[in-house]
Amino acid sequence: MNSLGRGLMELVKETTKMSQVIVTKMINPFYWRQANKDYKMMVEKKVPGALERMEKGELIPEWEYVTEGKLGWEYRQVLAGNPDPWCVEGNFYPRADHTRPHILYTMEDYRVVGCVDCMDDQHYINYLLINVNEMGRCKDCGSCYVCLPHPEPDLIWVDPHH
């Protein structure tokens, strides 16, 4: 038998063995009873007193016993009072008009700005090209932007090789 035939035979044997194990576990009620008992013991180990609470019919929230990994970190952050641990929610800035525009600093003679103050349900971004010391206004929402030269350009590191 060539190597391809042997490889296929090994694959069939492994697949058959895996499917027998999976089907046996799915049908076997004793397996599920043991799995349920293991789960309860894991929760009891992490949350003392959880077995009594479960016997009364109370559901143990996941944040009480998930302590490891990213989900555990997220639960700890939320319990500590941080409602957005992954910084998904954007910062709210008040709409800028001509009396208090958004100030943008630049080292160039112009700046390209994408206005996102427009309606939340829009599926496009308005781009504005604003020259230094000029004010630009979004044509949809009216937000204003002012482009100013950077106040301390010496503090910005410039790569000497490029």
Task: Kindly report the CATH number assigned to the domain that includes residue 118.
Answer: 2.60.11.10
Domains held by the chain: number: 2
- Under DSSP, the state recorded for 153 is G
User: Is 53 within a domain?
Assistant: yes
Domain that holds residue 33: 3-60
Determine contact, residues 140/128, Cβ cutoff 8 Å: no
Position 160 scores a pLDDT of: 67
| Token duo for residue 137 | 């206004």
Q: What is the pLDDT of residue 32?
A: 81
Q: What percentage of residues in the chain have a pLDDT greater than 90?
A: 12
pTM of the model: 0.41
Cβ count near 75 (within 10 Å):
19
Per the domain annotation, does 75 fall within a domain? no
